[in-house]
Structure 1
Amino acid sequence: MPRPDLLGRLRASGVRLLDALAARIARGLVLVLLTCITWSMAEGGTTRLKVATRIVPPMVIEKNGTLSGFSIELWNSIGGRLNCETEYVVMPDVGELLDAVEHGRADLAIAAISITSDRENRFDFSQPIMNSGLQILVRGTAANVEPNPLRELMQLFFSRTLLVWLGIALLLILIPAHLIFLVERHHRNGIIPSTKYFPGIFHAMFWAAGTLATQADQMPRHWVARIVAVLWMFTGVVFVAFYTAQLTASLTVQQIKGPINGPRDLVGKPVGTTRGSTAAVYLNEAKAQVLEFEKVDDLFNALLNQEIDAVVFDAPVLHYYETHDGRGLAKIVGAVFHKEDYGIVFPTGSPLRKHVNEALLALRENDTYQRIYEEWFGKR
């Protein structure tokens, strides 16, 4: 009769053998499944794929329960070449979309999905389907924006232009003030009542400032000081003319361009974008006051309702809104920055990636891709 310790070892060995056999069977089933998918695509069989997407015009548009847009038409063309049926699964934002692919609720995802290094660590991407980047959208002249005279006046007082000109004026005042002080303080009827530097220099500076801004209230007595006074009055006329022209030009440009004209102007401003997007990451790094919205439509409505000062999002999406629903209400400012590429997302190691890339290359070669692009974005 076997000893108890021998029976225990036999049972443990049997359990290990069963575990190893079960693992091999599971790996085999996975390989068979992937092989069947690959074989069915290669041999013309029909495969049903779940494709995650999100509503982000013009990449994906939903109207009366039907999806359209650049990404949808492009995938339909790819799916036609792969001879597969598509079941679209609409997600609220890019975070949910990527989560669906990562946890097997979708076979792939296509929309406005930027290829980033962090996402490359979690997923596989197709070849780029579009070049993109971020841009800034602000309210347009037709938007219902009430002017704020007090705010505009304060902006004028603390503008860089005014501070620069005040610095120049101070420098110009100090030079003639010292000349007048040196030659007038010893004159019997001079305009400087004290021979001491303080307070004599203050009287000279007051005279120089008054002459620069308007006209001298009294003329110096010394002949050298009078020559300085005449030259200084002429300088004052030129200075006021140049300052007025510069201030008018600055105010005009500010009215045309607005307070936000590029990425540097976003610091400290309330700026909106969608939740989980690359734009949200960029805005946090740029130290803007970031407000994240679930839907793109909510984002645009927040801009028009003055809840935010600007929208930072993908350039193709902003251009589409500017020329369609937002015509006259919003405008794009500045050039494209933080350039990115859109791609189709797959789980790591997916066999679909190779076939999708092959189909995508074929669509580029036969000009199908170009036709779809021009349909939604016009000719490049």
Structure 2
Amino acid sequence: MHRSMARLRHNRRALPLFIVAFLGVWVGFQIATGAPPSAPLPPEPVTVNEPTDAVDPIRVAVTPIASAVEWTGKRPTGVVIDIWNEIAGRIGVATDFVLEPTFVRLLEVLPAGQADVSLGPLAITAEREQMLDFTHAIFNSGMRIAVRNRDDSGFLTAVKSFLSWRLLELLGCVMALAFFTGHVLWWCERRENPNSFPRHYLRGVGEAMWWIGCTIVTGGCDNKHVGSAMGRTIAFGWMVGGIVLLASFTSVLTATMTAERVVGTIHGPRDLAGRTVGCQQAALSAKTARQRGALVEEFPTVKEALDALALGMVEAVVGENQSLMVLVNQPNRVGMRLVGPIFETFDYGFGVPTGSPLRKRLNRAILQIREDGTLDRIKSEWLGQHD
């Protein structure tokens, strides 16, 4: 009994030591295998992968524009595409072409962040500069007018020909000169020759102008004669001048009627005022035509504007010169032609979002292809040599 009690007291003294030893072993094991569960794990460093040209190609928005961009297969072609490919190769970027349905979309995708570059080419203006940035110019071109050929004949065409400004100016000059010399002739003849030129003002001046008209057409008037020296001087001047006036009137009338049949009544930018003109929607041509007084009808593309011209919905189409040259000379555009000179010239470049770091790289490459002749070579391959 005494031994059992002694053993129990000994076990009670050893129990705390055993517990302490066990806890020490457990803590050591936890330290060796990892941090305690309650301790927060340190945050792992976050690595931001910068986009690379090979992984993230540049999104380039294009829309079919005659002579500049055509999309006939899986990829676009054209002079602007070749220029872009040359620039992209020099700055070391890949390209993801994005086909846009209309020209308007080329201006909308950049502010919306849906593209990195809009090829166009886009006319560089202060108004557009407020929405996006532009590269250096790659083209310089201007506006041109397309009209239908006319082959009208008949009485109405002849009557309309008299409404030309050249004929009206000539008739106005003849009428003013006849009015003035008619008064002088009546004043010289009214006393000595009252039978031919009555003293009454209205009757006398009227008879004098009638005599002048007969002299221009037939060389004289049988039932009237001129007696005074001044009157005969005036009569001689009208007899000689009448031949010249009649010949001038005939030549102007013939030239006007011929021009009306061939190119219509619009011959250049000055004739756009009051005319119904088709233009591409949101293009610079619409603004230019409105500034010249035209009644503008906008269409999604230049091709649709020319279709409207063929149907007589508009009287002319105003657009970029090179595009109109290509479209009007297509086989399905028989009966159209370009008239007048190039007007309102502008520089054309690529568009990029405002503040885009890509702009500086593109400008450097554009300057390089200008200086080494690559830009001129690409343009001449597609568009030929032009002054």
TM-score of Structure 1 vs Structure 2, range by shorter chain: 0.7 to 0.9
Q: Which residue does 2:132 correspond to in 1?
A: 123
Is the Cα–Cα contact under 8 Å of residues 103 and 301 in structure 2 kept in the other structure?
Answer: no
Using the TM superposition, name which of 252-261 and 85-94 deviates more. Answer: 252-261
Q: Cα RMSD (Å) of the superposition?
A: 3.0
CA distance in 1, matches of 2:211, 2:80: 72
- 1:377 Cα deviation from its structure 2 partner: 0.9
Is the Cα–Cα contact under 8 Å of residues 151 and 262 in structure 2 kept in the other structure?
Answer: no
Q: Provide closer, same or farther for how the CA distance between residues 342 and 326 of structure 1 changes in structure 2, counting only shifts above 3 A.
A: farther
Which structure: larger Rg?
2
- 1:46 Cα deviation from its structure 2 partner: 4.7
CA distance in 2, matches of 1:221, 1:53: 79
Matches within 5 A, 1:225-374: 229=235, 232-255=238-261, 258-325=264-331, 329-374=335-380
Is the Cα–Cα contact under 8 Å of residues 280 and 286 in structure 2 kept in the other structure?
Answer: yes
- Equivalent residue letter for 2:225: P
SS at match of 1:84: coil
Is the Cα–Cα contact under 8 Å of residues 211 and 224 in structure 2 kept in the other structure?
Answer: no
SS at match of 1:47: coil
Q: Provide closer, same or farther for how the CA distance between residues 263 and 326 of structure 1 changes in structure 2, counting only shifts above 3 A.
A: farther
Q: Which residue does 1:220 correspond to in 2?
A: 225
Is the Cα–Cα contact under 8 Å of residues 59 and 70 in structure 1 kept in the other structure?
Answer: yes
Is the Cα–Cα contact under 8 Å of residues 273 and 293 in structure 1 kept in the other structure?
Answer: yes
CA distance in 2, matches of 1:163, 1:108: 53
Matches within 5 A, 1:85-96: 85-96=94-105
- Equivalent residue letter for 1:155: K
CA distance in 1, matches of 2:337, 2:363: 36
Q: Which runs of 5+ in 2 are unaligned?
A: 1-45
CA distance in 2, matches of 1:229, 1:379: 59
- 1:61 Cα deviation from its structure 2 partner: 0.4
Q: Provide closer, same or farther for how the CA distance between residues 216 and 363 of structure 1 changes in structure 2, counting only shifts above 3 A.
A: same
Matches within 5 A, 1:162-173: 162-173=167-178
CA distance in 1, matches of 2:193, 2:293: 63
- Equivalent residue letter for 2:205: I
Q: Which residue does 1:3 correspond to in 2?
A: none
Q: Which residue does 2:64 correspond to in 1?
A: 55
| 1:210 correspondence with 2:219 | no
CA distance in 2, matches of 1:322, 1:377: 15
Is the Cα–Cα contact under 8 Å of residues 190 and 221 in structure 1 kept in the other structure?
Answer: no
Q: TM-score, normalized by length of structure 2?
A: 0.77
- 1:212 Cα deviation from its structure 2 partner: 2.4
CA distance in 2, matches of 1:123, 1:97: 11
- Equivalent residue letter for 2:298: E
- CA distances 1:118-171 after superposition (whole Å, capped 9, x unpaired): 1212212111121122121222x4xxx551645423322322233333333334
Q: Provide closer, same or farther for how the CA distance between residues 198 and 52 of structure 1 changes in structure 2, counting only shifts above 3 A.
A: closer
Q: Provide closer, same or farther for how the CA distance between residues 65 and 303 of structure 1 changes in structure 2, counting only shifts above 3 A.
A: farther
Which residue of 144, 152, 161 maps to 1:147?
152
Q: Which runs of 5+ in 1 are unaligned?
A: 1-27
- Equivalent residue letter for 1:294: P
CA distance in 1, matches of 2:311, 2:131: 38
Q: Which residue does 2:204 correspond to in 1?
A: 200
Using the TM superposition, name which of 182-191 and 240-249 deviates more. Answer: 182-191
- Equivalent residue letter for 2:302: V
CA distance in 1, matches of 2:83, 2:385: 17
CA distance in 2, matches of 1:146, 1:257: 9
Q: Provide closer, same or farther for how the CA distance between residues 148 and 291 of structure 1 changes in structure 2, counting only shifts above 3 A.
A: farther
Q: TM-score, normalized by length of structure 1?
A: 0.78
Is the Cα–Cα contact under 8 Å of residues 92 and 295 in structure 1 kept in the other structure?
Answer: no
SS at match of 1:371: helix
Is the Cα–Cα contact under 8 Å of residues 142 and 345 in structure 2 kept in the other structure?
Answer: yes
CA distance in 1, matches of 2:194, 2:351: 89
- CA distances 1:44-72 after superposition (whole Å, capped 9, x unpaired): x5531211111102211021444111121
- CA distances 1:302-330 after superposition (whole Å, capped 9, x unpaired): 22222222111112211222444567543
Q: Provide closer, same or farther for how the CA distance between residues 206 and 357 of structure 1 changes in structure 2, counting only shifts above 3 A.
A: closer
| 1:82 correspondence with 2:88 | no
Q: Provide closer, same or farther for how the CA distance between residues 205 and 343 of structure 1 changes in structure 2, counting only shifts above 3 A.
A: closer
Aligned length, in residue pairs? 339
Is the Cα–Cα contact under 8 Å of residues 63 and 102 in structure 2 kept in the other structure?
Answer: yes
Is the Cα–Cα contact under 8 Å of residues 109 and 344 in structure 1 kept in the other structure?
Answer: yes
Q: Provide closer, same or farther for how the CA distance between residues 164 and 68 of structure 1 changes in structure 2, counting only shifts above 3 A.
A: same
Is the Cα–Cα contact under 8 Å of residues 46 and 84 in structure 1 kept in the other structure?
Answer: no
CA distance in 2, matches of 1:179, 1:285: 47
- Equivalent residue letter for 2:169: V
- Equivalent residue letter for 1:63: T
Once the two structures are aligned, what percentage of the paired residues are identical? 32
CA distance in 2, matches of 1:266, 1:188: 53
